[in-house]
Structure 1
Amino acid sequence: MKFSENWLRQHVPTAATREQLAATLTAIGLEVEEVTALGAALDGVVVARIVSADKHPEADRLQVCQVDTGAGMVQIVCGAPNARAGLVAPLATVGATLPGGIAIKAAKLRGVESFGMLCSAKELGIDADASGLLELPADAVAGTALAQYLGLPDASIEIKLTPNRADCFSVRGIAFDVAAATGSAVAALDIAPVPAVTDSALHVELSAGADVPRYCGRVIEGVDATAPTPVWMAERLRRSGVRPVSLLVDITQYVMLDLGQPMHAFDRDTLSGPVGVRHARAGEVTKLLNGQDASLDEQFIAITDGEGAAQRVIALGGIMGGFDSRVTDATRNVFLEAAHFAPAAIIGRGRKLGLHTDAGHRFERGVDPELPRTAIEYATRLILDIAGGTPGPVVESALPDHLPHPLPVVLRRARLARVLGLNVADADVERILQALGLTVERSDDGWRVTPPSRRFDIAIEEDLIEEIARIHGYDAIPTTLPGGAARLIAPTETRVDSATVRRQLAARDYLEAINYAFVDAAWLQLWQAEAGAVPLANPLSAELGFMRTMLLPGLVAALGRNASRQQDRVRLFELGNVFAGRDSGFGIRDSQTQSLAPVETQRVAAAVCGSARAEQWAVASAPVGFHDLRGDLDSLAISAGAQLEYRPSQPAWAHPGRSADVYRIDGGREQRLGWIGQLHPRLQRALDLDQDVIAFELDLAPLVERAIPKAGAQSKYPSVRRDRAFIVADSVPWAAIQATVKAAAGPILRELVLFDRYQGKGVETGFKSLAMGLIVQDESRTLTDRDVDAVVAEVTAAVEREHGAKLRA
């Protein structure tokens, strides 16, 4: 929010200097970002009128001007391109010193005497425009001090507002805070109702329910739209960062900045009536003031004109007016609009169309619902005083049941002292709250406080305590250390904490990546992972419109960015949440709304490419492969005592034959954790990855579950090992054979070791030899050779039967 210092002081007279005012604003939470001094040291600069402008005899770009200073005629040599007879402009007389330190003296320019300097806005330090002389209104009186005429010196102050302080998007709203902090009082708002002179009016119909509970309009006829905007108004707009456009538009902007109520002016002659306020219909299109054709849906508020089939959209409620009904210099009859739009009805609508407007910015945060009629009266008075005209009655349509009403809040004296850590005198509490515009009633244990309708942010006791704290002064609150004993909570032994997971992966030479939980829909489609994706109602940008359903798209994108910058070995991991929508079958039903809410699942993912090991002289370089990453995952699982199994799979993003689902096996229970493997070559090409990428992604919670260790006696009976080698088709995975052996051997199998894999001489092409060691042991007796032979025979038969294997001689 940017505003003029002099404008603020008109609302709240205060003796504070500019520096003190800026410091006070920052101290009470309205952080001052910039203060731009305007028009300092303009003594000797007056309003002047160029009577004649003749070409300089010795220079093509210079003119010799005869200038009326109000006290006589002087000759000025000027090179400004807009210098011309009849122009009214600032003149720095001989002896003046401009803000840039330029001392004005009589001089000769190319042999012609010049007694002063006609000035641009930049030379005067009031604007950045140096393209020509500052053009003043033709009715400005020559000889008037420029500082007096332009209301200088002044300053443009820009403050940074938090989203909850929507009331400070107006000069008057800021004035209440300044008054409370400086012990001043806000000047009364003297806006007397303007009586109707004619019966001219447009009927208003509200059909948007709670989204638009109040709408005010007024017709003013016979307006001179070509009347110039007064200098005082134009200057206040410029110092507030608003470029003056035309009188009617400038008045609506001025009222918005002064009071905080956005307004709009329609050309009455383009309207047939009645004016309607409803939700837009899907497919409706309207042309906005900026020339953009806006395609609407049911989420937008449409301001309409006419009835039945002839009805048309003339404005986008709370955002921007329409092109066809705009006011122009030809406008003679005006329809003024001021309405209250609920924040929920406006939030995100402008961004959906790629727009950001002052009106939308305010309505999204909340505007005083009691302001529309006051704003209409204020704008009416300004129009009549400057452009003339005859007003009709103010037409107001309201839905009282849907209008927000401030509710009283109880502030307890003891609670205030406890939270702030000091006792604030009752008189100071009441002064602060009343200066902020709140109604205060004293009670036995504190106060009953009713906020004004503009203060949407005051709803609970803590809000009032915050107001007392920031106005009384945060520096007045003593610094004390907290007392009492903190209760220590022992970490659980039933799961491995996230910090340990991070340390384990970091120890395996991985770097942690942190990516946005928002992703581009195109990413999800590329990975074929869009099922159940949760769309955002108000995304930060079009590229971040969905919640991620996987960690890998963002992680692999980060890997690709590193690889493209000449990093030949990249190893990244991420711990984060993924989100499944209500359509995925994983939604959680809300107990109150009975709707399915998205469910969050924490996962761990890793992605690697390049060399398996860092470059060194002792080990030959080799590309990272599936088993390298599997080893890292196994080491992570061991920290939780987990036993993993890998079973072939082929998700859409995975390389056929180089992909597996990961299962955790606990006794007779198995649980799928996620996936590990190489990315599909087609996906790698689409992602512009030149190297093979190996990755995994698993649900974190079941991976890090850890059984509490229990002491138990070791078997006192010896174990027996028998080795067997099978020739089996190369397409049969070890995981399948492993499962068969465990099932056939039964409970006495203590360990199964694969100690050799052979292909070559003596083994038929397309087959492989797998040599394994079976270690068996019983808890209650010593196994005999017959017992062991029976187990080995059962295993051999099962492997031959289920996998077509042959026992290797």
Structure 2
Amino acid sequence: MRAPLSWLREYVELPEGQTGRDVAAKLIAAGLEVETVEQLGQGLKGPLVVGQVLAIEELTEFKKPIRWCQVDVGEANGTGEPQNLICGARNFAVGDKVVVVLPGAELPGGFKIAARKTYGKVSEGMICSASELGISDDHDGIIVLPPEYEVGTDAIELLELVDEVLDIAVTPDRSYCLSMRGLAREAAIAYGVPLRDPALLDVPAPNDYGPAVEVADAAGCDRFTARAVTGVNPEARSPIWLQRRLQKAGMRPISLAVDITNYVMLELGQPLHAYDRSRVQGTIGVRRAEAGEKLTTLDGVTRVLDAEDLVITDESGPIGLAGVMGGAGTEIADVAVDAANGEVTGTREIVIEAAHFDPIAIARTSRRHKLGSEASRRFERGVDPQAASAAAQRTVDLLVLLAGGSAEAGVTEIATPGGPRTIRMAADHPDRVAGMSYGREAVVRRLQQVGCDVYGADELTVTVPSWRPDLNEPNDLAEEVIRLEGYESLPSTLPRPPAGRGLTGRQRLHRRVGRALAGAGYTEALSYPFVGDAAFDRLQLAADDPARRTVRIQNPLSDEEPELRTTLLPGLFGALRRNEGRGNHDVALFETGLVFHPREEGGHAVRLPVDRRPSDDEVAELDAALPAQPRHVAVVLSGARELPGWWGEGRPAMWADAVEAARTVAREAGAELRIAAGQYGPWHPGRCARLSVEIDGVEQVVGHAGELHPRVTKAFGLPARSSAMELDLDALEKAAGGPVTAPEVSTFPVATQDVALVVDAAVPAADVEAALREGAGELLESLRLFDVYTGEQLGEGRKSLAYALRFRAKDRTLTAEEAGAAREAAVTAAATRTGAELRGA
């Protein structure tokens, strides 16, 4: 919200000498986010005056049209003689009033004006455009003023070129600050001065003579006010003061009727819409759209409506998208002159709509159609429903004053009955929330300044003003007291955690895994936790895959990703694709984060207290209402895993690197990871490892690793033969059964035995390894597969697996006989379970 300081002063008598930065500091202290204070007209020096064009000579000997103009500037030049000026603009004629800057002046940006020879003539100044004066970005033509302004008038004051504008980022809970009325209220409170409320107008009572209106959806529209103005002069133009206020507020002047509705919206915060009465057919209605209905909005786009859209209608069908944008069929007509008879045509009768719509309905409609507007921005945050009548009256008054219209006596107002909202709060509740004493008197005074009515002694009954939909409970009222008393007055106290509290086991594992993967050459990447159905399709997941059961967000940031993720892979794939597109071809990324799974029976979310620690039952009830949120870890690799150099040729990343990343994570968790051939979704069916652990005696699949399927890499735009891994980190922690213990350092020597076993090519190496471990017994310290061989010597369909076995006893040095016996037991077990044969035997 852009707020010109000159406009703000109309409603608040600011102390003498207060600059925009001073006001910004006060508003920031009250909790508003003032981003910048723009100094309009900075560096501007006169003379800058109103001039009248007396004569125009066209200079045709140049490549572009140039005009040699004589302009009357009165006595501003000291001589009273016409000023000779060169100008290339074509949008003015003899007799027009223009803005002239004379020699000796300086325009914004340090542009000094002097008489100079150009195009064979001496130009004694310049005729100004809006962009040259810093009014707007429009540089297509110069400013043509209304004829009523006298020659020689100071244009700096006339055009209000010197001002300060506060640019305020209004948070969603402070919707009332999207208006000069709301900002003036905050400024008045901050300075302790009275507020001149622009909404305090004499409004006639509703009667039966106003425009016919029928509201079919009271939930979507609980208040609709309609007024009519006749006899409007279609040639009337917005006065300069109105145009300049709109421009300073960041809006473009369009036509008088539209400018007035925009002005009142900025002033009071109530969006309005003006209809050409001659184009409205019959009764104006409010209802939900019928699926498939079409409406051409003011931006010229024909939109197919949804059954959830709230629309304004007449007998012909939809004429506006309620609270978002009006329809082209009933817009205010541009003024035109009939060439045959000189008759001026345009809108002469106007119907004003001032309504209050359901914020959620407007927000969803705006996002559904990707159509944001100043009106929808206010409605979806909350508009004062009691301001509709005053806004309509203010609009009617301005149309009568500026357009020469006549206000009809009829006033239509349809309102759903409803009383004010009240909140009960202990008088010392703000004291307990803030940790300091304000006292009942300060609490009552601050709430009254906000606009509340307060009754009671120890327990207060607070009636909330209609323009504050964000005040719903005692904590909201406490926040108002605290911010107005000053956040800077809150004491700084450090919390005192009880002894013995530290990181949880889950947090420690999270950090260990991150450090281990970073040490292995991976770079951490963080992604948004949002997905859509398209991502699961690209992952090649089956229609009944559990990963497709998602938690849907009620108010998603993007309609394309309206659900919470059940896998980390889409986010990592996006990061890999961006790196590849920026020339980073050797990439290894990892992410640890939460995924979300819906519960079979959702609970009810409780509101936790802020004045004490929640009880265990309250925390458990809240957890039960949330989706299951296990922590996952995932990696993705592409390009070279080992770069070439003088040390060797290097090596590309492959499926085995993804499997090794899973082993790294499992080691940090202290879990025994079982690896077997698998087949799942995004991975290549012949290069996919199924990762499992044993939990409470039951083997459980906790992830997959390997090379991605070519269709998946193509769908996500990834390099060919990219690899990935994903593991359930919480399941690994559970499988570990407790904290990771430091390894023991034995003083006894190790006995190493190698064994090469020939098995059928279809036998997984994991099965052979498991058999060797079981047969070797307690003396086996570690086992490592160091070679895989296939060839003619073994025969077709056979492979050789070579393992290094390390044996060690905790209490003695092993003899050669003991190590050999353990080796033989391991080989026997492998032969029995997998059909392995000792190579060379």
**Band the TM-score falls in, shorter-chain normalisation:** 0.7 to 0.9
CA contact (8 A) 1:588 1:599 kept: no
Q: Give the equivalent residue in structure 2 for 1:715.
A: none
Match of 2:170 among 161, 165, 170: 161
Tell me the distance in 2 between the aligned counterparts of 1:763 and 1:123. 87
Tell me the distance in 2 between the aligned counterparts of 1:467 and 1:448. 15
CA contact (8 A) 1:225 1:248 kept: no
CA contact (8 A) 1:588 1:598 kept: no
Q: Give the equivalent residue in structure 1 for 2:183.
A: 174
Is the counterpart of residue 301 in structure 1 residue 310 in structure 2? yes
Q: Give the equivalent residue in structure 2 for 1:209.
A: 218
Q: Give the equivalent residue in structure 2 for 1:378.
A: 394
Match of 1:25 among 16, 24, 27: 27
Tell me the distance in 2 between the aligned counterparts of 1:101 and 1:793. 93
Q: Give the equivalent residue in structure 2 for 1:518.
A: 530
Q: Give the equivalent residue in structure 2 for 1:405.
A: 420
Gaps of at least 5 residues in structure 1 are: 712-719
Q: Give the equivalent residue in structure 1 for 2:519.
A: 507
Residues 305-353 of structure 1: per-residue CA shift (max 9 Å, x gap) = 12xxxx5111101100011111114222222111111211112422322
Match of 2:593 among 555, 576, 588: 576
CA contact (8 A) 1:602 1:701 kept: yes
Residue 11 of structure 1: CA displacement?
Answer: 1.1
Residue 139 of structure 1: SS of its match in structure 2? coil
Tell me the distance in 1 between the aligned counterparts of 2:60 and 2:70. 12
Q: How does 1:534-545 map to 2 (within 5 A)?
A: 534=551, 536-541=553-558, 544-545=561-562
Q: How does 1:479-558 map to 2 (within 5 A)?
A: 479-482=491-494, 484=496, 486-489=498-501, 497-519=509-531, 521-529=533-541, 531-534=548-551, 536-541=553-558, 544-558=561-575
Match of 2:203 among 175, 193, 204: 193
Is the counterpart of residue 355 in structure 1 residue 364 in structure 2? no
Is the counterpart of residue 76 in structure 1 residue 109 in structure 2? no
Tell me the distance in 2 between the aligned counterparts of 1:789 and 1:93. 106
Is the counterpart of residue 50 in structure 1 residue 67 in structure 2? no
| Residue 426 to residue 628, structure 1, CA distance change in 2 (3 Å) | closer
Is 731-740 or 387-396 further displaced after alignment?
731-740
Residue 409 of structure 1: CA displacement?
Answer: 4.8
AA aligned to 1:301 is: L
Gaps of at least 5 residues in structure 2 are: 336-345, 542-546, 607-620, 743-750, 810-816
Q: Give the equivalent residue in structure 1 for 2:11.
A: 11
Is the counterpart of residue 766 in structure 1 residue 797 in structure 2? yes
Residues 143-181 of structure 1: per-residue CA shift (max 9 Å, x gap) = 544355445643333222112110011111100000011
Tell me the distance in 2 between the aligned counterparts of 1:98 and 1:303. 47
Residues 699-724 of structure 1: per-residue CA shift (max 9 Å, x gap) = 1111123324899xxxxxxxx99999
Report the TM-score, using the length of structure 1 for normalisation: 0.84
Q: How does 1:463-478 map to 2 (within 5 A)?
A: 463-475=476-488, 477=489
Is the counterpart of residue 439 in structure 1 residue 440 in structure 2? no
| Residue 184 to residue 499, structure 1, CA distance change in 2 (3 Å) | same
CA contact (8 A) 2:593 2:632 kept: yes
CA contact (8 A) 1:62 1:77 kept: no
CA contact (8 A) 2:532 2:563 kept: yes
Q: Give the equivalent residue in structure 1 for 2:745.
A: none
Is the counterpart of residue 87 in structure 1 residue 96 in structure 2? yes
Is 277-286 or 124-133 further displaced after alignment?
124-133
Residue 606 of structure 1: SS of its match in structure 2? strand
Residue 362 of structure 1: CA displacement?
Answer: 0.4
CA contact (8 A) 1:610 1:691 kept: no
Is the counterpart of residue 729 in structure 1 residue 755 in structure 2? no
CA contact (8 A) 1:588 1:597 kept: no
Is 29-38 or 561-570 further displaced after alignment?
561-570
AA aligned to 2:452 is: L
Tell me the distance in 1 between the aligned counterparts of 2:94 and 2:640. 79
Is 278-287 or 19-28 further displaced after alignment?
19-28
Report the TM-score, using the length of structure 2 for normalisation: 0.81
Tell me the distance in 1 between the aligned counterparts of 2:711 and 2:123. 78
Residue 288 of structure 1: CA displacement?
Answer: 0.4
Is the counterpart of residue 325 in structure 1 residue 330 in structure 2? yes
CA contact (8 A) 1:661 1:672 kept: yes
Residue 656 of structure 1: SS of its match in structure 2? strand
Residue 267 of structure 1: CA displacement?
Answer: 1.6
Residue 167 of structure 1: SS of its match in structure 2? helix
Is the counterpart of residue 219 in structure 1 residue 228 in structure 2? yes
Is the counterpart of residue 65 in structure 1 residue 96 in structure 2? no
Tell me the distance in 2 between the aligned counterparts of 1:214 and 1:344. 16
AA aligned to 1:654 is: W
Tell me the distance in 2 between the aligned counterparts of 1:494 and 1:4. 53
Residue 245 of structure 2: SS of its match in structure 1? helix
CA contact (8 A) 1:47 1:89 kept: yes
Residues 669-717 of structure 1: per-residue CA shift (max 9 Å, x gap) = 2111111111123433444544532321111111123324899xxxxxx
| Percent identity (aligned) | 34
Is the counterpart of residue 457 in structure 1 residue 460 in structure 2? no
CA contact (8 A) 1:37 1:156 kept: yes
Residue 195 of structure 1: CA displacement?
Answer: 7.9
Is the counterpart of residue 702 in structure 1 residue 715 in structure 2? no
Tell me the distance in 2 between the aligned counterparts of 1:557 and 1:704. 28
| Residue 295 to residue 105, structure 1, CA distance change in 2 (3 Å) | closer
Residue 249 of structure 1: CA displacement?
Answer: 0.9
Q: Give the equivalent residue in structure 1 for 2:615.
A: none
Q: Give the equivalent residue in structure 1 for 2:276.
A: 267
Q: Give the equivalent residue in structure 2 for 1:714.
A: none
Residue 120 of structure 1: CA displacement?
Answer: 4.0
Is 167-176 or 545-554 further displaced after alignment?
545-554
Tell me the distance in 1 between the aligned counterparts of 2:15 and 2:669. 69
AA aligned to 1:508 is: A
CA contact (8 A) 2:703 2:727 kept: yes
Residue 324 of structure 1: SS of its match in structure 2? helix
CA contact (8 A) 2:763 2:834 kept: no
Residue 513 of structure 2: SS of its match in structure 1? helix
Residue 358 of structure 1: CA displacement?
Answer: 0.2
Is 317-326 or 461-470 further displaced after alignment?
461-470
Residue 43 of structure 1: CA displacement?
Answer: 6.2
Is the counterpart of residue 654 in structure 1 residue 683 in structure 2? yes
Q: How many residues align?
A: 780
Tell me the distance in 2 between the aligned counterparts of 1:64 and 1:23. 48
Tell me the distance in 1 between the aligned counterparts of 2:691 and 2:6. 70
Tell me the distance in 2 between the aligned counterparts of 1:148 and 1:666. 80
AA aligned to 1:222 is: G
Residue 434 of structure 1: CA displacement?
Answer: 3.4
Tell me the distance in 2 between the aligned counterparts of 1:721 and 1:617. 33
Residues 734-765 of structure 1: per-residue CA shift (max 9 Å, x gap) = 3345567889x799997895767554464222
CA contact (8 A) 1:265 1:334 kept: yes
AA aligned to 2:765 is: W
Match of 1:366 among 355, 359, 382: 382
Residues 223-266 of structure 1: per-residue CA shift (max 9 Å, x gap) = 22331122222221122111111111111111101100000011
AA aligned to 1:437 is: G
Q: Give the equivalent residue in structure 2 for 1:258.
A: 267
Residue 501 of structure 1: CA displacement?
Answer: 1.4
Tell me the distance in 2 between the aligned counterparts of 1:124 and 1:767. 86
| Residue 409 to residue 46, structure 1, CA distance change in 2 (3 Å) | farther
AA aligned to 1:193 is: V
Residue 166 of structure 2: SS of its match in structure 1? strand
AA aligned to 2:685 is: P
Q: Give the equivalent residue in structure 2 for 1:640.
A: 669
Residues 765-796 of structure 1: per-residue CA shift (max 9 Å, x gap) = 2212457789999xxxx99x999999987875
Tell me the distance in 2 between the aligned counterparts of 1:479 and 1:209. 48
CA contact (8 A) 1:412 1:445 kept: yes
| Residue 110 to residue 362, structure 1, CA distance change in 2 (3 Å) | closer
CA contact (8 A) 1:66 1:73 kept: no
Tell me the distance in 1 between the aligned counterparts of 2:583 and 2:355. 58
